[in-house]
Amino acid sequence: MAAFLPLAILVFVSLLAAGTTANNGYTTPSPSPQQQQQYTPLALLTPPPAHSDKLLVKVEGMVYCQSCAQRNTHSLEGAKPLPNAEVSVICHDAKNRIMVGCRRAIADEHGYFLAELGVTKVSDFYMSNPRKACYVRLRASPDFECNNPTNINYSSIEGAPLRDEGKRWADHDYDNIVYAAGPLSFRPAICPSKHH
C-alpha cells in the first residue's frame, strides 16, 4: 500500500495541472486573458483622487476644572467641564516662526471647543505637517474660583500637542482635517485643606 501512495499523489497532481477536479471529472477552464481583463473592477482602473495641497484645519478638545481632590496631580478624575473657557491654537510656519492669525476658541456650555484655522497650504506649516506645527494653550477661565491653569497634557507650558484621530474628508478645492488636543484643565485657586 505504501508503494502506491507516491504514484497516487503523482496522478492527483497531474490531474490538477490538466484542469481536472475531484468533482466527478468535471473541469473548470481557466479564463482567457481577455476574459480576465473584462472582469477587472472599475476601482482598479481608476487612479486614486489627487489630494489638494490646501487644508482646512480645525482643532477640537475639552476644557475642565480639576477637582480639588486631584490637586497637584495630572488626574482629571472628578473634573467638571468648564463652560466659556478660552484657549489658543498656535501654529508655526515653514520657517518655524509663529504664524500670523493664531486662533482663539471659547468652550461651549459642555466645555467643548472647536477652533478653525482657515484654508492654508500644507507647505506653509512647519515640516508641512499641521499636527507637528500646532499646539493648544489655555488662555482664560471665566470662573474666578477655577482659574489657575494646570499643565495637564502640557496645556500651559509647552502647549498641548495635536492628535490625528482620522477625521478627514475632501471638499471642493481643499481637504478638511479635524485634530484633537487635550483634554485641558484649570484648577481651583483655593482648595479646602486635606484633613488626615
- Does the residue 18 lie in any domain? no
- Does the residue 9 lie in any domain? no
**Joined grid coordinates for residue 15:** 490531474
- For residue 112, the cross-strand partners are 62
- Does the residue 27 lie in any domain? no
Neighbour tally for 193: CB within 10 Å: 7
- Does the residue 5 lie in any domain? no
Which residues, other chains included, contact 29 with Cβ-Cβ below 8 Å and sequence gap of 6+? 19
**Joined grid coordinates for residue 31:** 479564463
Q: In the prediction, which pLDDT does 22 show? A: 41
| Host domain of residue 89 | 54-187
Domain containing residue 123: CATH number: 2.60.40
Q: In the prediction, which pLDDT does 146 show? A: 94
- Does the residue 135 lie in any domain? yes
- Does the residue 19 lie in any domain? no
Per-residue CA distances from 70 to 75, 118, 172 (Å): 6, 37, 47
Per-residue pLDDT of the chain (196 residues; tens, 9 = 90+): 445 444 444 444 444 444 444 433 433 344 444 444 444 444 443 333 445 688 889 999 999 999 999 988 899 999 999 999 999 999 999 999 998 767 899 999 999 999 999 888 889 898 999 999 999 999 999 999 999 999 998 887 889 999 999 998 887 788 889 999 999 999 998 887 765 5
The H or E element spanning position 10 is helix 5-17
- Does the residue 31 lie in any domain? no
- Does the residue 175 lie in any domain? yes
Q: In the prediction, which pLDDT does 51 show? A: 55
Report pLDDT digits (tens) over 124-181: 898 999 999 999 999 999 999 999 999 998 887 889 999 999 998 887 788 889 999 9
Q: What is the total count of domains within the chain?
A: 1
